[in-house]
């Protein structure tokens, strides 16, 4: 509804549109208690449109309003904007607005969650582990830039499409990652964020114009990781990959991932970090159990990925794999090459990996020290409990 009404009335009235939709749902929650209308969506559509017009009347004189907005068109013409194809089209346009280069990455993800996904400021703050006031200011900055830059709900020009799609895919990946490694203190995963990232990716794939090997690879990666969500936690306890019940991995999402990965590799020529992320995830999926995982192949994929995405998280992942195959020297070399500040909120994993290395070398005192530091840097209660359990096993 936000995307459609913004397309009708203009992005410069985004605040007013969001207020009107809030008012509409509040009105519905009161009026529908006794009886729901025969066509709820049509009721909401008409009520929201009318509320926008009411608010505009309060802001502008009738003459100016009629000159600025051609909404003398029939109700049928506006209602046609709410047909499924038009809704998809408006949301796709809004995705590119959210990922406009005039907005910073932090503004992009907050605006996308607000304007496309309908998250409240409080929900965004919780998901991104930020103060609600910080998110409010971030959204205000984003809206001001949209107005100042005259950003419209247009698709990028052909010569801009590739760079804009890179930004769109990055935002979708960040949204998913925030859900998969939730920063909420009491929850390891946020399925709503993961589901929203999948929905946005699928929406882009519905248009032939936007399809690429990278987009299919990203979708494959999200499907593989989402398939494992239910196995990550059991009885409020974190389960690592070795402990997870693979029977709980969701087969339909795995099948979708396989299909998307195949298309990304054989129907398109472009390659990206998402390809290797999906290939790594597929190796974990294909392994019958943890012990039969093809670690050498995964190491090769990480090496290839680093060429596309030189991130500190890659040597950390490689270090963890070297520990799995009992190559402590290689693990140590990877860890020593990492700048801890580059890991940001994932720094606790760095210290926990050092602890594992020290345990392998029979240095329990050093491992204890590193685990204590890891616990101090961990913001998630379930993961903190996992580390404390590990620490207790060493001390005792």
Q: Are residues 48 and 15 in the same domain?
A: yes
Average pLDDT of span 118-127: 76
Q: Are residues 330 and 299 in the same domain?
A: no
Spatial distance between the Cα atoms of 304 and 314, rounded to a whole number of angstroms: 10
Q: Is residue 92 part of a domain?
A: no
Q: Please name the residue that has the structure tokens 């608010």.
A: 55
Q: Are residues 110 and 197 in the same domain?
A: yes
Of 31, 48, 82, which residue is a domain's last? 82
Query: What is the rounded (10 degree) CA torsion for 259, 292, 358, 333?
Result: -60
Count of domains observed in the chain: 4
Q: Are residues 76 and 108 in the same domain?
A: no
Q: Are residues 279 and 328 in the same domain?
A: no
Q: Are residues 107 and 176 in the same domain?
A: yes
Q: What is the pTM of this model?
A: 0.75
CA-based nearest residue to 46, from 94, 8, 91, 89: 8
Q: Are residues 191 and 265 in the same domain?
A: no
Give residue-wise pLDDT tens across range 240-298: 888 899 999 999 999 999 999 999 999 999 999 999 999 999 999 999 999 999 999 99
Q: Which residues of 34-46 are buried (b: 16+ CB within 10 A; e: fewer)?
A: eeeeeeeeebbbb
Spatial distance between the Cα atoms of 102 and 144, rounded to a whole number of angstroms: 11
Q: Are residues 366 and 330 in the same domain?
A: yes
Q: Is residue 1 part of a domain?
A: yes
Contact 237, 185 (CB under 8 A): no
Of 29, 52, 82, which residue is a domain's last? 82
Q: Are residues 205 and 286 in the same domain?
A: no
Q: Are residues 364 and 289 in the same domain?
A: no
Q: Is residue 275 part of a domain?
A: yes
Contact 355, 367 (CB under 8 A): yes
Average pLDDT across the chain, whole number: 85
Q: Is residue 88 part of a domain?
A: no
Give residue-wise pLDDT tens across range 103-112: 888 888 888 8
Contact 235, 173 (CB under 8 A): no
Q: Is residue 238 part of a domain?
A: no
Of 54, 82, 110, which residue is a domain's last? 82
Tokens of 91: 């949301």
Q: Are residues 48 and 124 in the same domain?
A: no
Q: Are residues 133 and 186 in the same domain?
A: yes
Give residue-wise pLDDT tens across range 123-160: 777 666 678 898 999 999 998 998 888 888 788 888 88
Q: Is residue 240 part of a domain?
A: no
Q: Is residue 227 part of a domain?
A: no
Q: Which residues pair with 238 in a beta bridge?
A: 233
Range with the lowest mean pLDDT among 65-79, 323-337, 367-381?
65-79
pLDDT category of residue 394 using cuts at 50, 70 and 90: confident
Q: Is residue 232 part of a domain?
A: no
Tokens of 310: 């030189």
Q: Which domain holds residue 377?
A: 322-396
């Amino acid at each position: 509804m936000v995307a459609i009404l913004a397309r009708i009335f203009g992005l410069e009235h985004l605040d007013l549109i969001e207020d009107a939709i809030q008012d509409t749902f509040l009105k519905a929650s009161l009026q529908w208690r006794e009886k729901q209308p025969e066509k709820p969506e049509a009721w909401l559509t008409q009520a929201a449109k009318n509320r926008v017009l009411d608010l505009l009347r309060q802001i502008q004189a009738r003459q100016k309003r009629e000159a600025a907005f051609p909404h003398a068109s029939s109700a049928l013409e506006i209602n046609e904007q709410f047909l499924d194809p038009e809704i998809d089209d408006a949301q796709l346009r809004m995705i590119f607005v959210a990922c406009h280069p005039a907005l910073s990455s932090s503004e992009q993800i907050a605006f996308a969650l607000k304007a496309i996904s309908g998250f409240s400021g409080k929900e965004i703050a919780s998901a991104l582990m930020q103060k609600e006031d910080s998110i409010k200011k971030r959204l205000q900055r984003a809206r001001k830039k949209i107005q100042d830059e005259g950003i419209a709900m247009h698709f990028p020009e052909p010569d801009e499409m590739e760079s804009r799609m890179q930004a769109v895919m990055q935002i979708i990946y960040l949204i998913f990652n925030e859900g998969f490694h939730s920063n909420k203190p009491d929850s390891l995963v946020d399925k709503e964020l993961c589901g929203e990232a999948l929905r946005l990716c699928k929406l882009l794939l519905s248009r032939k114009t936007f399809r690429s090997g990278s987009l299919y690879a990203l979708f494959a990666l999200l499907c593989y990781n989402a398939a494992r969500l239910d196995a990550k936690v059991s009885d409020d306890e974190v389960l690592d990959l070795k402990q997870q019940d693979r029977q709980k991995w969701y087969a339909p999402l795995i099948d979708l991932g396989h299909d998307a990965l195949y298309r990304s590799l054989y129907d398109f020529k472009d390659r990206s970090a998402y390809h290797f992320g999906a290939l790594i995830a597929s190796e974990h999926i294909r392994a019958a159990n943890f012990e039969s995982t093809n670690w050498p192949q995964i190491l090769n994929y990480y090496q290839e990925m680093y060429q596309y995405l030189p991130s500190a998280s890659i040597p950390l992942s490689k270090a963890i794999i070297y520990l799995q195959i009992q190559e402590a020297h290689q693990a140590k070399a990877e860890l020593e090459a990492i700048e801890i500040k580059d890991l940001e909120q994932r720094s606790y994993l760095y210290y926990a990996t050092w602890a594992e290395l020290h345990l392998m070398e029979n240095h329990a005192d050093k491992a204890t020290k590193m685990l204590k530091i890891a616990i101090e840097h961990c913001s998630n209660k379930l993961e903190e409990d996992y580390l404390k359990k590990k620490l207790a096993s060493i001390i005792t």
